[in-house]
Structure 1
Amino acid sequence: MTGTVTGAPSDADGRRTLGRRGRAWGRVSCGVVLAVPAALLVVRLTGLDAGTPLAVPMVLFPYATVLGVLVWGVLVAVPALRSRWAVAVVTALVLAHVVLLAPRFLPERRQVPPGSVELRVASINVEGGSADPRALVDLVRTERIDVLAVEQMPSRGVDALDKAGIGALMPYQELHPEYDSSIYSRHPLSHAGPTQGDTAWPQTTAEIAVGGRSVRFVAVHTYYPLGDAKRWTRDMTALASMARSGGPDTVFLGDFNASLDHTPMRGLLAAGLTDTHAELGHGWARTWPVGHALVPPLIQLDHVLHGPGLAGVSVGERTVPDTDHRAVVAVLALLPAQGRAT
């Protein structure tokens, strides 16, 4: 009786085994990465971020879109990972993200009549009064700001700005350091004071007369979703209520602690406001955090929103030393009645 000699596995067999394992790990890795954009898409479509801790990761929605695009590129470029169903699923996921994000990158073609009255406005969170007051005054002077909203500014911050010379540029002031937000203006203020809505603390509001109209400003600083998502959502709901009763010549500007992908922010915009960044096609502005050597600004929490009586002409961000938020500077034009958005 003769025995059968079993040979050792060939190199080709080993390569095939490693290849199968590599493909399996590659597909699993792609699936794990895709879980992020898929989960955030579900939250975005269902509004599950309103009043829940899901509001925190929702600020990463644009980055999740980038992840989806990268995975799609890997699947298309690497034959070993490619399959029709995988490419189809990832393509659908990426397209859903793009459809949701695209409007903020497409500027609205609104006609601003020549000679329209313009207002130069700015907002900045000064991080408890730590922002460099001289730099902020220089910003007001250089940008020729008409109305400045300041958030998170205590009494010592008010005093510092006063010593830096803000009064010479903006002599009209509605200051409420006890309530967290204040308004400075080149123009006389009327109907000024803290709001009475259901917000964590009163917002500061004031009106200015310009171009034969009265424009209402609300300096906004909401609660933050990481601290209490339900309280933050109530703040945003209260702001939406104010917007609905504010008329077309209204500007809400400040630190909303919200991005355009948050359900409460979209509810605020649905109340009749337009985000100036999105209106002008600046869809991925980043205002927070700043002042960290290793972490660049990642997300937009600071906004200038306006009613249909105005239109955005320009918008941008400016860095002021010693605060964790970038300032937002916008130019808004007053539209004639027939030119207003409906």
Structure 2
Amino acid sequence: MTPDGAGPGARPGRLGRVGKVVGAVAPPVLLAVLGLPALLLTLLRALQPDTTLAVEAVALTPVALPLYAAMLLVCGAALVRGRRRVLELILTPVALGGVLVHVWWLGPLALGEVPPPVAGSTPVVVMIAADLGPQVDPAVVVAEVAALDVDVLAVSETDVDTLARLDAAGLATALPYRAGAPGPGSLVLSRTPLREVAAPATTFPSVVVDAAGLRVLALHAAPPSDVAAWRGDLEAARAAAQAEDVDLVLGNANATIDHDPLRALVAAGWRDAAELGNAGLQPTWPAHDGLGPWPFPAVALDHIMVGERATVTEVETLDVPGSEHLAVVAAISPRSPGR
């Protein structure tokens, strides 16, 4: 070895020092990468600021749960190795608290109480589908309606030409009774005769109908690019649901169960079909290139919200090629008395 330590024997020493530096720096950096967005999502969900960016971020609230869980693993690994740095000691209870809070928020979707149906009752199969435009294959939609024996279909964001193609493919025969109109608002199609009851004042036309023994409010809420309109539509839907005593509030709400306007509907007595079916989180958007290269649906914008007279025996999402939204299908049955 040369006097200045530059010989071959010096390399392991330098590598060792670099390794120590990386080992010291990497955990705090990783904890910051995980913890900052997790904490931000938790705060936004709790505070519900009325800005477009905040509303859109709240839709991603469930992402915080795996971030907190990863933080807990990083902190736990450091403590197990005996590296009891102040940062890990502080962040361990923060991460644990974050996990518990988000499990509390998300838990009902998989573990909530499921009221039983009336014994021997026949379920009504309800389907919602958004963004049925020219790019959708009518034969695929009609085949799903037939395969699932759909009784009521609520559609939003369709057009006259697409509806004509759907009807020509067999939808007019399967679901011949209609209320509402094609366009950005809601159209309800039924196997049996229906009756239009009301038209709530929303940005895009909404409709309340009696169909297949259920009173249904079909909604397409304004997007949160206009927060006042978005919030106003969801509040109008809740008020109409209460005033008209509806069984179902359904459609593209442009909101998740983490948004306070939709939670207000839950507090008023309407629960998500995903919760009543213990189906867990059921993201519906973006299904096809809604966020460029994003590979799978990330947020649950489309909902079938079920009132206190009914329950859910089955619920699932379905891919509709060409639509940016997954469809949602639920089997709705009358709830057993006293439950």
TM over 0.5, yes or no?
A: yes
How far off its partner does 1:284 sit? 1.3
1:307 equivalent in alignment to 2:307:
yes
User: Is the contact between residue 52 and residue 230 of structure 1 (CA under 8 Å) also seen in structure 2?
Assistant: no
Tell me which amino acid in the other structure corresponds to 1:196: P
The answer for the alignment partner of 1:339 in structure 2 is 338
The answer to whether the 8 A contact 2:48-2:55 is kept is no
Distance 1:251 1:29 in 2: 44
Closer, same or farther: CA 57–219 of 1 in aligned 2, 3 Å: same
CA distance in 1, matches of 2:240, 2:284: 25
Judge conservation of contact 2:115–2:335 (CA < 8 Å) in 1: no
> Does residue 1:230 correspond to 2:208, yes or no?
no
Residues 1:259 and 2:241 aligned together: no
- Residue deviations 1:201-254 (CA, integer Å, cap 9, x gap): 2212211253xxxx21122111111x222221111111111122232x521111
Taking structure 1 as reference, are residues 110 and 339 closer, same or farther at Cα in structure 2, changes over 3 Å only? same
Shift of 1:167: 1.4
Aligned-pair CA distance for 1:330? 0.3
| Residue aligning to 1:3 | none
Stretch deviating more after TM superposition (286-295 or 27-36):
286-295
Identity between Structure 1 and Structure 2 (%): 28
Aligned to 2:237: 239
For 1:53 and 1:230, how far apart are their aligned partners in 2?
A: 13
Which residue in the other structure is 1:37 paired with?
38
Name the residue aligned to 1:19: 20
Distance, in Å, in 2 between the alignment partners of 1:25 and 1:297 is 31
Unaligned runs of at least 5 residues, structure 1? 1-5
Amino acid in structure 2 at the alignment position of 1:121: V
Distance 1:103 1:39, change over 3 A: same
What TM-score, normalized to structure 2? Answer: 0.87
Which residue in the other structure is 1:135 paired with? 140
User: How far apart in 1 are the matches of 2:326 and 2:184?
Assistant: 21
Query: How far apart, CA to CA, are the structure 2 residues paired with 1:131 and 1:13?
Result: 61
Pairwise CA distance, 1:93: 2.1
Q: Deviations over 1:36-77 (max 9, x none)?
A: 1111111212232x4543011112111121111112112212
Q: Is structure 2 residue 112 aligned with structure 1 residue 113?
A: no
Conserved? CA contact 2:134–2:162, under 8 Å: yes
Read off the aligned partner of 1:291 and give its amino acid letter: H
Structure 1 distance, partners of 2:338, 2:191, is: 26
Contact kept in structure 2, 1:241 and 1:271, CA below 8 Å: no
Q: Is 2:192–2:211's contact at 8 Å kept on the other side of the alignment?
A: yes
* 3-state DSSP of counterpart to 2:297: coil
Q: Does residue 1:153 correspond to 2:154, yes or no?
A: no
The aligned length equals: 325
| Contact 1:260/1:266 (8 A) holds in 2 | yes
Matched residue type, 1:218: L
What is the alpha-carbon distance in structure 2 between the residues aligned to residue 196 and residue 101 of structure 1? 30
Aligned to 1:325: 325
d(CA) in 2 for partners of 1:53, 1:291: 22
C-alpha contact 1:183 1:205 (8 A) present in aligned 2: no
SS class of match (1:165): helix
- Which structure 2 segments of 5+ residues have no match? none
Q: Distance in 2 between matches of 1:13 and 1:161?
A: 70
Q: CA deviation at 1:301?
A: 1.0
